Structure 1
Amino acid sequence: MGTSTEESGTSTEAAGGPRALPAARGGSGERPAGARAARPGRPDSLSPSRAGDFMTCPLLYRFRVIDRLPERPSAAATRGTLVHAVLERLFDDPAPERTLARARSMVAGQWERLLADRPELAELFTEGTPGGDGGAAGGTGDGSGAADGAGSGAAEGTESGAAGDAGSGAAGGAVAAERLSAWLAEAERLVERWFTLEDPTRLEPAERELYVETVLDSGLTLRGFIDRVDVAPTGAVRIVDYKTGRAPHPDYASGALFQMKFYALVLWRLRGEVPSRLQLVYLGSGDVLTYDPTEADLRSVERKVLALWEAIRRATETGDWRPRRSKLCGWCDHQAFCPEFGGTPPAYPLLARPAESPEGDQGRMGQV
């Protein structure tokens, strides 16, 4: 892997202009409405995220894909969504206007858009809220304490209770505002770091937030969203993915590379050309990792994906979804249903048949 961002053959500088990229299915870039059903169902396609879930913990895959258990939003994941939105929409502006000041000014506005779509995200910054940026015990920060205190004070014929609880509610609101301000400032810092890694005035992406989908000869549907696709004047295609975390140690980079190779496989099957470069931009640490895939790489990924899908198919038919404890368990919302933590999974919502023989280690796949 290299660490260069603007290397010959894959950069799409505004001066030369990008070549048009043939449309992919769903190529509008919008996430399809109703793409995820509200009730349990059998898996019918595979994305890099869900493939990663199964390789991490087959039971987690079941909870997310079949049971569709709700999960709390997290401040870190939401910040990632916000930063992605800023970096995507910055390219709506003419190249000379894609400045750091312009990008920073977009953070608050994109947060308001996100909040309008998902009002529950405001709870990330109130005290005592799981998944927030600090959740110490105390008031809720939503003003309920003031209302309850006023009623209590009136019933007792005093004003002290109302005044005290109103003050507590105001303090909670101030804490929430402070947390939100710090959270937005961190999002701005991530955007600033991007400008040290890439120059948006010299880039003209062919696609942004591109939805891609293809059906393999086996009948398996692969799908996903690509952050950015660049096409150089030479026709070389570069797939770019933004990460708001830190770059992994090289010994643990295979997971992120699998995601990128997955995208490359889909584009190859859609358009018949192997992408020239895969690029991971880590805003948390300021690293850029690149990989130049070959056709042999992508055939290997396809074999791995098909083997993974076969394991998912067997687990779906038998209902045998095994948990796998790892350091990631500490961030899992489903410990109450996990046998590794003394929990019991919900009743399996699909018809299942007994396994004919014990299966191997679910989800454990070799590196590609």
Structure 2
Amino acid sequence: MKYKYQAVDKLPTPPTPHLSWGSSLHAALEWFWDRKLPEPPSADELAAALYDRWDDTGFADMSRQDKIGWYRHAQDVLRRHQAQHAPSYRPAAAVEQWFDVDLGDRVRVRGFIDGVMPTGDGGFGIVDWKTNRRAKTRAQVETSLQLALYALAARDLWGRDPDWVALEFVVPGIRVEVPIERIDVDAAVAEVHRVAAAIRAGRFSPTPNRLCGWCDFRDICPAFEGDDGATDVPGTALVELQRLRRRQERDAQRIAELEQIVRDRLGEQALVELG
């Protein structure tokens, strides 16, 4: 059901502290590993990268003191990450690597790989950073659909399998690596086709579980009909609409300013060629 609400109905979801905190950490980690020099960034440089990339949208209704608590927690996590990886640091071959894989039967898988890490023998591994407080077991990582699809994407992008895939839980500082031989890519592809067939058939049955309490769509989900206290979807849509309209106005103003600069220095024809 959550897929239907997000991807089919495109219902809005409100920003939350956990999402903003996670996106801020991811942005800082991408900067840390996307290095053009072999030396690792210092802890202070990584802290500055966090400051520059901090996403405050999920903390709008929070007190300043509580915001500082979240921010300092992120600083601590990144300091530990830097200390853990600096001694053996090697820049990533790619971060936020886009992929678009055709699985046949009108099914495509698209997404981003967090980090593609070179290994000492000319190969590479794939890592996905997680901001969960608890790490998963190796058995759970071995059955990760996400990592199996990343391995498939690697074949499509570079013509070979990664040496290993991993989930790295940056809060506890644990990376769970699994050799590629333990990943069943064929089973993952079969599962994607099964889910795609269900989507095409309009089968969106709710699957209640322990994460339902965190879901933004609990109040409209058939499994929890009549429950109170969940997200106000229409109200959230209005808030997001207002925010996007303000951004649109700012963007339109800036576009006009830039067009005038181009017009003054390059002439009207430059804008025509730009389209």
The interval holding the TM-score normalised by the smaller chain is: 0.7 to 0.9
Structure 2 residue aligned with 1:357: none
By relative contact order (CA 8 Å, sep 6+), the higher-ranking structure is 1
Query: Partners of 1:210 and 1:249 in 2: how far apart?
Result: 24
Match of residue 16, structure 2, among 61, 67, 74:
74
SS in 2 for 1:96: coil
- Alignment of 1:124 onto 2:59: yes
**1:232 CA drift (Å):** 3.1
Aligned residue identity for 1:288: R
Deviation for aligned residue 1:105: 2.4
CA change 1:251–1:297 in 2 (3 A) is: closer
Q: Aligned match of 1:338 in 195, 216, 221? A: 221
Q: Does 1:222 align with 2:109?
A: yes
Cα displacement string for residues 166-197 of structure 1 (whole angstroms, at most 9, x for unaligned residues): xxxxxxxxxx2212211110111111221243
- Per residue, is there more strand in 1 or in 2? 2
Identify if the C-alpha distance between structure 1 residues 256 and 187 changes in structure 2 by more than 3 Å, giving closer, same or farther. Answer: farther
Match of 1:109 in 2: 52
The alignment's TM-score, normalised by the length of structure 1, stands at 0.56
2:232 maps to 1:297? no
Q: Which runs of 5+ in 1 are unaligned?
A: 1-58, 116-120, 128-175, 347-368
**Contact 2:35 2:92 (8 Å CA) reproduced:** no
Structure of larger gyration radius: 1
Residue aligning to 1:89: 31
CA distance in 1, matches of 2:113, 2:226: 36
In the alignment, does 2:90 pair up with 1:203?
Answer: yes
**Which amino acid is the alignment partner of residue 224 of structure 2?**
F
Give, in whole Å, the separation in 1 of the partners of 2:25 and 2:13: 21
**1:296–1:244 distance in 2 versus 1, CA, 3 Å:** closer
Q: Distance in 2 between matches of 1:311 and 1:329?
A: 21
> Match for residue 99 of structure 1?
42
Task: State the SS of the aligned residue for 1:216.
Answer: strand
Decide whether the 8 Å contact of 2:130 with 2:167 is kept in 1. yes
Contact 1:265–1:301 (CA under 8 A) maintained in structure 2: no
**Higher helix proportion (structure 1 or 2):** 2
Does the Cα contact within 8 Å between 1:323 and 1:339 map onto a contact in 2? yes
Alignment of 1:40-51 (within 5 A): none
Distance 1:109 1:330 in 2: 32
How many angstroms apart in 2 are the aligned matches of 1:236 and 1:323?
Answer: 41
Of 231-240 and 260-269, deviating more is 231-240
**Aligned-residue offset at 1:93:** 6.2
**8 Å CA contact 1:95, 1:201 repeated in 2:** no
AA in 1 matched with 2:161: V
Identical residues among aligned pairs (%): 25
Could you give the per-residue CA deviations for residues 281-321 of structure 1, whole angstroms, max 9, x where no partner exists?
A: 11122211001123972122212222222222222xxxx42
Quick check: 1:62 aligned with 2:41? no
Partner Cα distance (2:211, 2:7) in 1: 18
TM-score norm. by structure 2 comes to: 0.74
Q: Deviations over 1:330-350 (max 9, x none)?
A: 101112211222159x9xxxx
2:127 to 232, 237, 240: 240
The answer to whether residue 209 in structure 2 is matched with residue 326 in structure 1 is: yes
Q: Are positions 1:288 and 2:175 aligned together? A: yes
The Cα offsets for residues 125-181 of structure 1, whole Å up to 9 and x where unpaired, read as 425xxxxxxxxxxxxxxxxxxxxxxxxxxxxxxxxxxxxxxxxxxxxxxxx221221
Alpha-carbon separation, structure 2, partners of 1:296 and 1:125: 41
Instruction: Determine the C-alpha separation between the residues in 2 that align with 1:86 and 1:208.
Output: 12
Residue identity matched to 1:64:
Q
- Helix, strand or coil: the match of 2:208? coil
Shift of the 330–89 alpha-carbon distance from structure 1 to 2, 3 Å rule, reads same
Q: Deviations over 1:200-251 (max 9, x none)?
A: 7721211011111111233311111111112335331210111111344528
Letter matched to residue 175 of structure 2: V
Closer/same/farther in 2, CA of residues 97 and 295 from structure 1, 3 Å limit: closer
Give the Cα–Cα distance (whole angstroms) in 1 for the partners of residues 183 and 67 of structure 2: 47
Matching residue of 1:21? none
Report the number of matched residues.
227
- RMSD of the TM alignment (CA)? 2.6
Distance 1:104 1:296 in 2: 35
